[in-house]
Amino acid sequence: MHDGITIEKQGKPAAVICTEPFIPTARMTARIQGIADYPFAVLPHPMTALTDEQLWERARQALPQVLQLLVGKG
């Protein structure tokens, strides 16, 4: 979250991806960074134990959210 907000403050688009258990932490970090309503993509947890095919499926799940974050702003 911190990195995504920092990149956006530099005028570059960013898309933060967070897994479900970390939503409260992401929201708190956004508030601390001064952008309480900073949008981010959410995926199911966990990620580390997934097979390559499962990771590709998560990437496919994330894509619409990431595209909305990157090009849906304005």
- Give which of 39, 42, 43, 44 is closest to 69, Cα–Cα: 39
| Cβ-contact 15, 72 below 8 angstroms | no
Judged against a pLDDT cut of 90, whether residue 74 lies above it is answered with no
Judged against a pLDDT cut of 90, whether residue 72 lies above it is answered with no
Domain boundaries, the chain: 2-71
Q: Which residues pair with 43 in a beta bridge?
A: 19
pLDDT at 22: 97
Residues 6 or more apart whose CB falls under 8 angstroms from that of 66 comprise 15, 17, 41
The 10s digit of each residue's pLDDT in 1-59 is: 999 999 999 999 999 999 999 999 999 999 999 999 999 999 999 999 999 999 999 99
What single-letter DSSP state applies at residue 62?
H
Judged against a pLDDT cut of 70, whether residue 73 lies above it is answered with no
